[in-house]
Amino acid sequence: MKIGFVGLGSMGQAMAANLLKGGHEVWVWNRSPGAVQLLVEQGAKAATSPGQAFDVEVVFSMLADDQALRSVLLDSGLLSSLKAPLIHVNMATIAADFAAELATLHQAQGVAYVAAPVLGRPNVAAAGTLEILVAGPADAIETAQPLFDLIGRRTWTLGEQAASANVVKIAVNFMLISAVEAMGEAAALVRGHGIESAKLIELVSNTVFPGPIYSGYGGLIAKRNYEPAAFKAVLGLKDINLAIETAGNVSVPLPMGELIKDHLLDTIAHRQGHMDLAVLAEVTERRVK
């Protein structure tokens, strides 16, 4: 199959590489050429523009945020030039309202739009074991499923309204970031009593909270090891803002979200926004000194 991939950050690059391993013809585009060259060395074809990457059967996008996607797809006029048959699979975490807007605009062009945000860090993407949250036209999802199988462990289908996948992803990220905040506060609590936080993390990740969130982020908190970042604090702020906005649209209060937003802004004020989300733990440490 002829595939396009737009947006080659650490996640996008890993997913595009797995599509290549599946034997597909993959055209890749990214603002910075270095990421493109790495995939060309693995057999990908370099697109000279986003339009060339969209001139395929199925195109994946994994751009950083709403603004980046809007710039590449809408402000440039690219979407208005697209024609069926084409399936656009957007794997980025974007606002639910924007996902609904994109679905409507794609439908007007006769192009299928599938929302497919993912759960997992870059190492999970490289292993091809992401959890993929999918919503959109059933026939388009069926066509793309063999491709999802190359990059994910399981596909979770959430209906035909594209925005549904983004709402669920935003909710999951809100829970994840809240867990990291809780771990940071708990680590400060035990340190205040002269207990190594690593002992707390080992205990909870092997008993009441098993799994990659507590063991992974907890380990970073215990070691105070925040670089290189797999999930930057500044992206955590983006996701918390999305959660607050999405909840506000249906009059759901998120008091914890507001607290975490304040703490993430603190990390950015202290020039830590480029560090891993686990750096949230440092905010509590600063505030108890």
The residues carrying an active-site annotation are 169
Task: Give the tokens for residue 192.
Answer: 């205040």
CA distance 5 to 25: 11
Q: How far apart are the C-alpha atoms of 22 and 65, rounded to whole Å?
A: 28
Let me know: does 43 contact 20? Beta carbons within 8 Å: yes
The helix/strand count (H/E) of the chain reads as 14, 9
b (16+ CB within 10 A) / e for 160-188: ebbbbbbbbbbebbbebbbbbbebbbbbb
What type of residue sits at position 222? A
